[in-house]
Amino acid sequence: MDDKVAFSFLNDVEKEIFNYYKSEELINMNSSQLNKGKEILIKEMRFYNSKPITTGGGEVIDNLNLAKSAVLENIENLLDRNNKIDMIIEKSNALNENSYIMNDFANKIKLRESERKNKYVYLIVSLVVIVLILLYIFAF
């Protein structure tokens, strides 16, 4: 990846030099006239040193970082969802246990009520039998 940055740097320097000088000027140039080339090199070096990698590799790294953060966020969401599911399971188990307790309690209440009703039926039947016996005894 560093090779790509170096070649990108050199390509940009070449473009800047050819934008500034004509090819005839470059051929006939002496060493004292290269000061502008030095300024171009300094400008391009500052640009490349101050910016992160902007080649395709840099974009790939940025995309990978975005994907990594998305994956981490999804994992956090899954863990939160898992915690919520665990809480729901615990609550449903508690509700299930409470429903068995309530069902047992309701059955006991029904049994008591039916015993009480039966008690009244036995009492009324007993009274009717006693009245019939008394009528039979006093009628003769």
| pLDDT value, residue 48 | 67
Evaluate whether residue 70 is within a structural domain: no
Give the pLDDT band (50/70/90) at residue 1. very low
Instruction: Show the tokens assigned to 34.
Output: 């290269």
Give the pLDDT band (50/70/90) at residue 129. very high
Evaluate whether residue 130 is within a structural domain: no
The distance in angstroms from the start CA to the end CA of the chain is 126
Evaluate whether residue 39 is within a structural domain: yes
- Report percent pLDDT > 70 for the chain: 74
List pLDDT tens digits, range 78-108: 889 989 999 999 999 999 999 999 999 999 9
Residue type, 131: V
Stated pTM of the model: 0.40
The total number of structural domains that make up the chain = 1
| pLDDT value, residue 34 | 63
List pLDDT tens digits, range 62-74: 778 888 888 888 8
Evaluate whether residue 46 is within a structural domain: yes
DSSP secondary structure letter of residue 41: H
Burial of 8 (0-12, 13-18, 19+ CB in 10 A): middle
Cβ count within 10 A of residue 37:
16
Residue 82 φ/ψ region, left for φ over 0, alpha for ψ in the -120 to 50 degree band, beta for the rest: alpha
Evaluate whether residue 43 is within a structural domain: yes
* CA distances in angstroms from 68 to 1, 64, 74, 106, listed in the order given: 20, 6, 10, 56
Q: Check if the beta carbon of residue 13 is closer than 8 Å to that of residue 41.
A: yes
Residue numbers of the domain that contains 25: 1-51
Rounded CA separation 49/5 (Å): 10
Q: Check if the beta carbon of residue 40 is closer than 8 Å to that of residue 96.
A: no
Evaluate whether residue 121 is within a structural domain: no
Evaluate whether residue 118 is within a structural domain: no
Rounded CA separation 2/15 (Å): 20
